[in-house]
Structure 1
């Protein structure tokens, strides 16, 4: 029989008086003195106001069960002893109200069916041993009782008053949100231009050049919404939690984001600009609603030594064709109202002696228009730590790609190229099997290079970075045109060696002049000076024609704006510039500039290009200059150590001297030093000490160094620190799990971490199953997409007490009632997504810090965020 039918046959005149006995009488008022008013404080069968004995409670339950059984005919099918068992089960379940962490308003909003379900979850063993008919009767009676409980709450004298207070608070919050949206609405006079400008931004930045795709039948560009891969950013030592990179501005207005070459900084800028312009925002990006993006690539703004622009020149200086159409004073209205999304890309791509001027320019803009959101990007070594902290900029780093990121990128690349899944799976197996290859696949650029080479070379991949670059250049400069039959009679034909010679001259000029872009006219002039030494090339066309050929056919050059030229990626510029420097025997010049961050990759690649005696000269020069310069000693000695990775053959004495000086800089004393050490590469792992005789800070920064070297060779080093009690060390070791082999890292590191106040991040079911394999954990952080059934089946239900939800699982939350001990959920998703949480679960509406911070140790202000969320 339908439970609703049973409820209909139980007259309210019978049930209501019985339910009323379960609760004490309350006085008038809004009921806000002891806010929130818990149901547990209202029941009449426990606490100081107890007026109902256990015997009375069982009598009420028995009366409810007997009435229901008689009115529906169930009594004829159930023996008396089973009816008594049902009554006992109902009584036990109703008794659970004395521990419910919910108030009456929440219970009413939850509804009687969900309330009944929640009560049953508090007493999961109540129906053990009952027949199916008896269980059905138990559920039906409890549903009916819950209906009258909810009705009873609505009749309490304090209910209406409290409801009005709750509604007033919500209306006030809603008004603030509406005011915020109104403030982000352009004026009628500006709206037409803003719509046109948004279309321009979406078109200009809505495509991504994916390396290697043009070698197949696919186009060389890819729609950004299909190509974009959400990477992670990591905070500083005070807040080392991972968060999606496109969320760095969600809770802060000013961010300096560091990332190595090819890590996806510019792609992130494009994604934020296009998402804002298109207004097709999911819940994660709602903070961008109504903003106006300004994409400001510094290499373009400073080309040819140009002065940085004022706001009224922003559009014209980046070559926006509708710049002259902007309404008078439009930029000022946008920025004064706080509607600007200021995306300043590439601090590292301007000369070092111009960066202080750029900083002052940025400070003046922030001071003039402080209410906007600002994202500034740079390579890590280009600006010192805390470079913009005085201007209230949070500083974060793009994390290396996790194993899951790499797998997703490889699958997407092959799909875009129209290549079967088998190639993608073969490549992923190779990346996981070959440690050197896996170590290279840590950012989108290198992943794209590896994908393209794997396809072009039929699965045969080089091992080292230099070999990969050499193969990529060969693929781009000669094999592509030859194999696709591009050449025709009468066209310009330039061999691979001459191609490289010409393009590396452009690269070296840009490096020597501290530029990432050069004027088109300068490039043509430079080629004109080079062509007389290459008569077979010169006779095929003018310098202008040769330039056009290089631009169209090399695959390495592009014109980002009219009248300018740059490389498709700075990495190729550095690689070819280094080759030119070595061929020109400019070793003293290289050593003299080695302290400049723009030359770091050039120095490394120079060591790779150099012969054995030339490497000795370069590395010895770095050591000696570092020995003589107290100010630059650390940077130069660490740069020399980083070069060892590329020194395939080297005098053993020189190698020993380099390693000895690097070892003197260990252990690191700060996060910046840890980052610098990690940039040296895997060679530094052999130099890192164990935790013995290290201070807590030194141990933490040493672990931070090793975790940034995302190779399985780091696992034994990290395992040495697994027994430390420092919460920072344990949180860091847990946080980077997804970067390593799941099972090996779980066995050697995660399984040994004490779980006191530590949230264990899980990004996939395999990690969750691994946690379950060694007993589960009381605190878990969901940091990757899960289906509810995956989480339920893989998680140890009896061990979970606290949950941190970092990603929106796009689901309702009733399934969490399957975890009987779950008491707290920390949300980093919109509050409205928590509407179906089990009502006893308390919710943190905003994150209060890293997931290693337990609620018990939160500050007073953070503790105010903890409380009940009305479902």
Structure 2
């Protein structure tokens, strides 16, 4: 059989070039400069105003590429069958359609080269839905590479590209001149000795801080190259609200830009939020001899990385500038010319990165603040970044010294996706393993709650990979692994032994944390006063072996080092991750035999996870008692909790199991659409794990399952619905199309609408809805709900794709002559409660259905 990797190369340029040209509009003369960048998406021929082809023609172009590639293999040598070839065509067409979404400009795309440009195009098109085998995937990749090569070559031949590239080169030259000017300003005449040492020191910084160490993980790679590992997070300014809480003040800014607007910044972040990684990135960027990184405030500067845990010694003075390198153990310290560090700081060229105020004993922090104050006053004009966990020092701790306080924000969905994919690339893992983890994170609420910072994301990646693509099969094992990492291994591996006066053993920390957690749960509280927390710790001390440590000392150690507690405001304490609060509280509830108390709260949403995790901790007889009591409640909620709890209990007597399963059968799948809503309301995300999947249902049952997930309405429900997107039942397809308004618009469009085999009616209510459908290449049947502007419809609906249009008209329709803008339109329905006078305004061929309101059932 022919080598698949050669097929793309066998398609002659004379065949590919005409196909590629059809994807783009003809250009005009000039550099094509406008007030905003000209992107490739503005050049494609199946979007915008200049349409030479329709989105359907993109399918034909992809089909022709596949046909020619297979024809070049010769008769009998085709590497894939007809079904696989069709799947390759579909995947390639969807990828080429991303030309209408891609955000890079033409000259930037050329700079990427065909391999990276092909990856950029393919990044937004998951291949799993197309069911490609290994050979089909190779064929897709080779054809995409071939198309990318010719696309980039075509872009370089556009008349506007040459003119624009000259403009870009001029702009790059101007930026380089500006960088040189900044460099000359910051680099006074240096001795050869100083200049030579700075070059060696820069190499040392790049080598020492150019990798990121992962602490406390049992699996996966332990070090990444920093340029691969660094993830741009956001920083936001804390603002005191009236009730004493701190809420973010928007807009946020990229964390690496915190020193662009302020010379002195005090940055707070929870354990594992990326503070040290940011320090490393700023150090390597400042030390690098590259001037086009978009951070002119770092050009020509010298970084000093000062980890507090290394430079603060008991009963020792804090280092002066000349001793910075020796204090951190830099091997080049002995080569440092006398007075060099002071000369750098006098010239205002220093970037002083003071990392980890929380990692030193409390009684040394006042001395550190004085040390910072004296250095800032002695050497003004340098850049300072000081980091700490939030609860280590009071708010505005360095305000008097002129420092601006910022907080590192938690990771959002985009950052989590980026982190997971980079982690798996760095670890040499298959891309599919990372995508499998992302699917689990998106569809499982507890994982979604854990994936809020790089440390926790790294833990999930390592555990998932270590178990060959699966996380621990039970939540108890997952949380135990996370607790071991957070409470024990991380500080030990970072050589932090009792840095705040007392070292708490793992078992002691767990015992104290679960007492705090159970108190919060029992009292239906999300946070407690600091005095309440101290009281709980104080009452526990007599039973703990802590050599006379006081409650204040133990509480502070627990707060700063566990990574689980935080003080969201002065005098208050809560758990950073609610899921750990539930886990620890459930553990103590079982120890205290509070099983009936748990069951009595089965109707309260906030107790759901506590009950399930208690079943995971319970011994067999205790678990059976809880399951029977939950089933005996006679409510959908109790029945669903019991059924979900079967997966948590390690051992269940067969008779008890049968009773729980019989109760579940009365609710799942629900018998009617009304029952589906009731089950969703009673179970929430819990019911998703109990519903049958698409391969287990058909017809009415499948539609009822989809309706149940629709009423759940969470992100986990969206991912559950995505499993049904290729279901053959027409009612399921209609329901999926009609469910769009319930969920995040863009996410639903990409994960479900884009994959539906047939385009049923989709409701739009805003121009953003129309923009999203346009990004999919248009839609066949659109239901416009509420008031609309004719200009928006004619501008944003892809004319060639629209076949059926439904308008809900709360006000009189001022004529429908504008419908002639849609040449493929076959039927129009207008839902209105107006009289027949309106009908006379409707052009011939337009169908009008009088109706008082939008039907609750999807329009087919």
**TM-score grouping bracket, smaller chain normalisation:** 0.3 to 0.5
- Higher RCO, 1 vs 2 (CA within 8 Å, ≥6 residues apart): 1
Query: Normalising to structure 2: TM-score of the pair?
Result: 0.41
Larger Rg: 1
Q: TM-score, normalised by structure 1?
A: 0.41
